[in-house]
Amino acid sequence: MINATAGGPSPVPAVPDVYAVIWVHADVPSQGSTDDWELGSWHASWTPQEHAGAVQDVRDAIGRGDVYQVNVVGHASAPYTGNPAAALRRVAALPGARYGGVLAGPGGRWAIATASPETLVEVRDGRVITRPIKGTRPATAAGHRELLASAKERAEHIMIVDLERNDLARLPGTGPVRVDELFAVRRWSGLWQAESVVSAALDGDVGLAELLRAVCPGGSVTGAPKHAALDRIAALEPVGRGASMGGLGWIGHDHVDLGLSIRTVAVDGARVHAWAGGGITADSDPADEVAEAAAKAGPLRAALAGTVTGAA
């Protein structure tokens, strides 16, 4: 288990740290409409200049040899009135989401919507699998070429793949860890993102707690070395990550499939919260990193506002 400096408090304390639902297949009627939903103005927990300053702080830490890479995440929230159900469903329907869905707490006190494309951990047919994502460009032909040609993005990506290989190798009873796919470019909403597939054979003696200790928190949203990266995150980010950057998915009698809760929003009855960021390396440009975080948050905000319907 990773022991690191605690980060800031969650901006959504109504959302519990762990929540489990016993799933029963049933037809559930659609609830909520856009008629009574009104979204206010967004307020960020830090300014673009403060975000850029955090990026430079990480670059300085890399220069000192404290870390190799740190994922820096920003948070923003907006007030709302009315029923958020339809808006949350629009978020979950964004294209490219491997894990798209809405989870609501009892009595409507809180809810989470995710459109995550990234697998934190999957166990199926005797193998444990993770699919780290690192590297982003606009979903254009030029963006595709840029992502494939970027030495900076590839180095950042491979660093996290190595970290994930090490995480899986820590599991007892795992066979050789292998990289099944490296730097495959896939689309999420209006962005290209680079994904790899890392897996290992797994015997039947590994429990869920051991599995989660090995892979949590996810390497692609922390950095390397993981412990040192978490210390930098705690020192730099003004608020906690709340429901974002965790795990959300399914646990069955014969499989586990948890998505990393990036591209996730949370509501608490008064405000809607969203997080976005990116991995920082020695070659990161602060202004570019601020722009990348905004690009990742853009589809979430548009879906909440009803200006997109989830079409590609």
The whole-angstrom separation of Cα 265 and Cα 99 is: 13
pLDDT at residue 1 tops 90: no
Tokens 């290992």 correspond to 200
The whole-angstrom separation of Cα 169 and Cα 62 is: 26
The whole-angstrom separation of Cα 112 and Cα 106 is: 12
The whole-angstrom separation of Cα 62 and Cα 58 is: 6
Half-sphere exposure of 252 (CA within 13 A, CB side): 10
118 is catalytic: yes
Instruction: Quote the longest CA-to-CA distance of the chain.
Output: 57
Residue ranges and CATH numbers for the domains of the chain are 39-305 (3.60.120.10)
Q: What is the pLDDT of residues 246-268, one digit of tens each?
A: 999 999 888 999 999 999 999 99
State yes or no: cis peptide before 217, omega within 30 of 0. yes
**Cα radius of gyration rounded to whole Å, the chain:** 19
Question: 50, 122, 134, 164: which is the annotated catalytic residue?
Answer: 134
Q: What is the pLDDT of residues 105-158, one digit of tens each?
A: 988 899 999 999 999 999 999 999 999 999 999 999 999 999 999 999 999 999
Q: What is the pLDDT of residues 35-76, one digit of tens each?
A: 589 999 999 999 999 999 999 999 999 999 999 999 999 999
pLDDT value of position 36: 86
- Can you state the angle between helices 48-64 and 286-305, rounded to 10 degrees? 140
134 is catalytic: yes
Query: Model's pTM, two decimal places?
Result: 0.89
